[in-house]
Amino acid sequence: MGRKTPPEKKRLSYLKDRRDDYGENAKSSRKNLPRSKAFARRANRARESLALRAATGTPDEARAEAAELRLLGRRRRVKRKWPHAPLAEYVEWKLERRAAREDGRAANLDEALGRVRRRLGRLDRD
């Protein structure tokens, strides 16, 4: 396996590097991901304990079955993680947004957008 040339490195960077496209602070994911997982788990535990609390007391087949049906009746909450946008998509979006905002200098921005797409091996979509 040989060394990568600078254009290859740039292309791989555009494809593999990610940027936060959710709109929140880039560092906030460190806190928000564990927090949202905790909220989901906490909600599941609360719902399950509430259903099981109804089955406490003397052993009764009907109450046990009702509690089990209540437990199985609803889906558990699950926190799913989604990947951020690839750097190439983020740069294209940023350049297109800038071009829409700056009408007079759009030629320079179109040129930059073309460079990004060429580095990725795509043809201009326009």
Which residues is 19 bridged to in the sheet? 85
Choice between 22 and 80, residue whose per-residue pLDDT is larger: 80
In this structure, the answer to whether residues 90 and 75 fall within a common structural domain is: no
11 burial via Cβ count (<10 Å: 0-12, 13-18, 19+): middle
Report yes or no: 11 and 121 within 8 Å, Cβ to Cβ.
Answer: yes
Does the pLDDT value for residue 123 go beyond 70?
Answer: no
Range of the domain at 38: 26-84
Q: Is residue 16 part of a domain?
A: no
78 and 56, same structural domain? yes
Is pLDDT above 80 for 4?
A: yes
Confidence (pLDDT) at 68:
80
Structural domain count, the chain: 2
pLDDT at residue 124 greater than cutoff 50: no
For 85, phi then psi, to 5°, come to -75, 145
Nearest CA to 32 out of 16, 20, 17, 44 is that of: 20
Same domain? For 66 and 95 the reply is no
- Is residue 106's pLDDT more than 80? no
Quick one: how far is CA 90 from the chain centroid?
14
Q: What interhelical angle do 29-53 and 61-73 show, nearest 10?
A: 160
Asked if residue 68 lies in contact with residue 95, where contact means CB atoms within 8 angstroms, the answer is no
Same domain, 107 and 94: yes
| Domain co-membership, 32 together with 69 | yes
| One-letter identity of residue 33 | L
For residue range 28-84, what is the model confidence (pLDDT) as tens digits? 878 888 999 999 999 999 988 888 887 777 777 888 788 888 888 778 888 888 888
Identify whether residues 74 and 91 lie together within a single domain. no
**Residue 13 to residues 2, 6, 54, 65, 116, Cα–Cα distance (Å):** 18, 10, 56, 56, 11
Statement to judge: residues 60 and 94 lie in one domain:
no
